[in-house]
Structure 1
């Protein structure tokens, strides 16, 4: 049977059980109609008490299944298996009092076997086959023959053929109408399982990348500290202070070293190793403005435009990983459009819509089709293509999503949709 550890898989089992409930209600209605026609119109005497008792059992099974669907998330696959066994038992009981194997509706056992083979794992499916064979053996050994009226005894074979035709039509309709829907549920379950496996592989990839980045950041810490000390020593030397051009170069070197140390600190913070500091409390506008100002300073004042249409400011907790992946996308945009990039911030209900627009060549179709897959890049660098991969996974962990596309006038647009609840500071507290 199907393990129900994942919500998507549990939903598939629920849909299959709901489908069987519908099938069982049809079976109850069809059997009542059959009893009415055979016992009333055809005047063939039937043992009504055991037949109606079997219908009552089917009704109770349906009510119990409905209770399982409403109040339980575990054990549904076992309830499904038990319900199918009860269906076999009820059909055996009814056929026992209506002719046994001589009843053309004995072929309905085949429908039970087919449904079990589609819904259950092999061991349970073979158990269904064994239960069906046992039921057939019981009916062959002991059954109550139908007492046909004198007018129908001479035409017993014709009556059997008519019943076989009705049974075949019933099985064919049910197989097409219900088993195809079960197959669709199974395909959706398989798709959900594939998605779960893909997500697990991507998250494992991210963990390994985080460990690698953390190790690299630790290794870079010592040489950066050494460079910072050397620059300060150079600037303190009197003979170098008189050289104005060299002093400007030393200032640039000091700024570059400071930026490298900031990047390393950001990597360590994203990896959870940031000097024991609590997450930074800030506001949405300060968070976005800080990102824009940082990249204006890094790439030039005229490169990045920031359009703020967010509206009323809110308190948030600054997520270093989110800040880093946004910066990665801006950096990629500036690489392909060094003269102009626009950062747009808007609020759509309870969602932040953050877009990055450029004048570059846009995304190739294969990048858009595999958005978020690692190592898909047009830059030709080893290890490239991780920016969008990290962006998609970070946004997904925060409950958001990423949309990418090309603009009609040229260039690309990457839009990040992030629920505000994922980063909002607790209500009633000031940032």
Structure 2
């Protein structure tokens, strides 16, 4: 029942117990009638029928209660304990441990092992074993007709009790282990399905982004050519204000084209230039400097990298870093501190800001798309993309609110993911 919500599973388990109890009532009734009237064995009919009546009443009560509220482990345990008590009464009235139906206690043990938590499963074992032991000493003997009676020695009854207890212990021991293994397997499968769904989402966004990049490339090139013509026009060239505006527009167009080239490179498409071979310090310092140029006075970069390392510039990682910096500004940060260091064989980027922090709803669903405090469709993709970029590179992203205000994001990824020998 791994695919059910806990409350639905509890209700179904309770219904299962109710169905089994109807079968038990029918079986006990048929056995009592057959033994008393078919075999001529005198039985205390009235108290035995009264016990059956209590089981029927319990079933009706549970059917009504099941419709009102969720069924808990304690309720299932109580229901099984009532079944054990009813069976103990019936056995006490009909020969105790000498009754061949004493083995039915194992049914309660099996049900407990399957339906209950481990602690209460073991409690069922203790109670049924105790009931079995008590029934070897205290019970109402049956006055069997001549030829039906047999004498069971005390050592035989003790051995029978030991056999029952051993079987009950082994059943619960292995059933609980199997249930735990199945639960862990289901959790792993659920995590794999979630990761596959997220990966498929990333692929769809990548296809959309690369398609949009191709489509936007042509009009941007056209605008760039037009701006170049304008810049050479004598009227505009002779007007410093207009010439500056044209230069600014040309710079923004160039920036847009660089962003589109980065999208295509990150999606694995050839853009006419080979991947950039650089060093770790130059790569990180250059990306932060470019971002700082459009957000002056926001970011302070601390270089704790030690010796420099040759790498291949990963545009997806650069975009993930830019996304996190943009998010910090949008969260009201006025200062952002970025510290780059190497711990063992891992690059660690620690990004701390003094903004409003991150809502708990986003922290609880880190890495899920469209989780954002911004009221617009498509918001929240920055963190989603950053988390999954780090995951693809074999690293991790952690996000937490700081006690003094603001947020802290930590990138951690193996240096081998950027190394020349692995990527060149």
Q: How far apart, CA to CA, are the structure 2 residues paired with 1:170 and 1:317?
A: 64
Cα-to-partner distance string for 1:139-196 (whole Å, 9 max, x where unaligned): xxxxxxxxxxxxxxx9656454333211211122223333222211211111000000
Shift of 1:338: 5.4
Match of 1:211 in 2: 207
Match of 1:240 in 2: 236
Q: How far apart, CA to CA, are the structure 2 residues paired with 1:361 and 1:336?
A: 6
Shift of 1:425: 2.2
Aligned residue pairs total 287
Q: Is the 8 A contact 1:265 1:274 kept in 2?
A: no
Which has the higher relative contact order, 1 or 2, with Cα contacts under 8 A spaced 6 or more apart?
Answer: 1
Q: TM-score, normalised by structure 1?
A: 0.62
Match of 1:288 in 2: 284
Q: How far apart, CA to CA, are the structure 1 residues paired with 2:160 and 2:219?
A: 87
Cα-to-partner distance string for 1:41-65 (whole Å, 9 max, x where unaligned): xxxxxxxxxxxxxxxxxxxxxxxxx
Match of 1:397 in 2: 392
User: Aligned pair in 2 of structure 1 residues 244, 278: CA closer, same or farther (>3 Å)?
Assistant: closer
* 1:406 maps onto 2:401 in alignment: yes
Q: How far apart, CA to CA, are the structure 2 residues paired with 1:336 and 1:185?
A: 43
Q: Is the 8 A contact 1:337 1:358 kept in 2?
A: no
Cα-to-partner distance string for 1:101-129 (whole Å, 9 max, x where unaligned): xxx9xx8xx89xx79x98xxxxxxxxxxx
Match of 2:247 in 1: 251
2:184 to 183, 188, 192: 188
Q: How far apart, CA to CA, are the structure 2 residues paired with 1:426 and 1:324?
A: 23
Cα-to-partner distance string for 1:262-313 (whole Å, 9 max, x where unaligned): 001111111111325443222111111111111011222x221111112111
Shift of 1:352: 1.1
Q: How far apart, CA to CA, are the structure 1 residues paired with 2:332 and 2:339?
A: 16
3-state SS, counterpart of residue 426 of structure 1: helix
Q: Which aligned segments of 4 or more residues in structure 1 are displaced greater than 4 angstroms? A: 154-160
- Structure 2's unaligned 5+ residue stretches are 1-99, 115-149
* 1:222 maps onto 2:218 in alignment: yes
3-state SS, counterpart of residue 319 of structure 2: helix
Match of 2:412 in 1: 417
1:163 to 148, 159, 170: 159
Q: How far apart, CA to CA, are the structure 1 residues paired with 2:274 and 2:235?
A: 44
* 1:316 maps onto 2:325 in alignment: no
Alpha-carbon RMSD across the aligned residues, in angstroms, is 2.8
Cα-to-partner distance string for 1:218-275 (whole Å, 9 max, x where unaligned): 1111110111011111111111111011111111111100000000111111111132
Match of 1:426 in 2: 421
Match of 2:366 in 1: 371
Rg comparison, structure with higher value: 2
